[in-house]
Amino acid sequence: MQRRLFLQHSMAAITGAACVPLLSTQAKAIHTPRHILVLGGTHFLGPAIVEAALAEGHTVTMFNRGVTNPDLFPHLEKLRGFRSNDPRNQDLSALAHRRFDAAVDVWPSDPQLAASAAEFLKDHVPHYLYVSSVAAYDSKQFERAGIDESAALEPWDGPARGYSRGKAESERRLHSIRGEEITIVRPGPIKGTRDTTADLLTWLIRAQNGGTHIGPGSGEDPVELVDVKDVARFLLFAMSRTLYGTFNLTGRPMPFRQFLDACKSATRSDAKFEWIPRSFLREHGLETDSALHTFAGNFPLWRPAGAQPGLFQISSERAFRAGWQTRSFQETALDCLSYFRSLHENLAWDDYLSEDKEREVLEAWMHRG
């Protein structure tokens, strides 16, 4: 993967399903097969939702343009149409005169797209679910750890980037259409099967390759990830319980040292990570632009101390209290590697941090005065 493509894919991830765990006994509900409409459903989280729904015995209908991965799920009903931010230039006619028990809108950050489908389906679907993002929070909220679902969202007319403002405004418009009878989830960085970003993958391959690598900072900076199958499973759980409200789905934070140890364990690696302070990395040209600390550059997923500490310490306690359980990191890691390896030449990978540069900095650190 070329460096430019690496950065594009990795930054996209911040704004950013076959085997799933059972939810706690206390959270179980009587299983009732449902007819579920998935808007989109062809790229990453969408297929995981479809697979989780099928595993639970539900009937799934997909609505999309039929352009992205049209061969997925050949035996499912697929309704064709398209959405547009101009209501005069969209086609939702295939959904007319149809009724579903629940609908999941997976991808839009354009408020008009989100609102048009919700408005169209208002009298056709009793339970509406929308996948938002932690990016919807006002960025000032990330100055503190442990923010929950009550934290302020980005204003529509604020200075934040379009994705963040769009997700926040989509939530507001959906509430204006559905009232409180809606389920909104705000995932953090989603990893696992069909993930094509190179952040978690970078650390897994570095560990798998063995040898000595740079561990950035002290090892205490937090990182927080969620498995795509866990997000899908929670959405199905919310349907089964008619669970309305907003839920962060970020997993639980872990120190970066624990994260890299988990990468080693998942790959049965004897690699060593040498923890090098940020100041030394900066002196040796390894600190990228601050906007790239999280998902790109030399140390993907690392946010140095002081760089919006709350971003990787968001609370998902409301979802956990409802009965959500998450898969082990090892399962997520192996899914990530398995999917990447299955792509062969279709997704070449090139570490942004070259071996020569990493060796140079490691040697300078070992021989520092």
Can you give the residue ranges of every domain in the chain?
Answer: 3-256+309-344
Per-residue model confidence (pLDDT) at position 7: 41
Of 151-160, 168-177, 305-314, the one with minimum mean pLDDT is: 305-314
Residue 146 sits at φ, ψ, to 5 deg, of 80, 20
Query: Per-residue pLDDT tens for 230-283?
Result: 999 999 999 999 999 999 999 999 999 999 999 999 999 999 999 999 999 989
Per-residue model confidence (pLDDT) at position 185: 98
For 22, other C-beta atoms within 10 Å of its C-beta total 10
Query: What mean pLDDT, rounded, does the chain reach?
Result: 89
- Residue 45 pLDDT > 90, yes or no? yes
Which H or E run includes 273? strand 272-276
Class of domain 3-256+309-344 (CATH, top level): alpha beta
How much of the chain exceeds pLDDT 70, in percent?
88
The residues near 134 (Cβ < 8 Å, ≥ 6 apart) are 186, 187, 188, 248, 250, 311, 314
Task: Specify whether the CB–CB gap between 232 and 45 falls below 8 A.
Answer: yes
Place of tokens 């204003």: 155
Report DSSP letters for 230-267, one per residue: HHHHHHHHHHHHT--EEEEE----EEHHHHHHHHHHHT
Task: Specify whether the CB–CB gap between 128 and 178 falls below 8 A.
Answer: yes
State the average pLDDT over residues 214-230.
96
The residues near 214 (Cβ < 8 Å, ≥ 6 apart) are 273, 274, 276, 281, 286, 298, 299, 353, 358, 361, 362
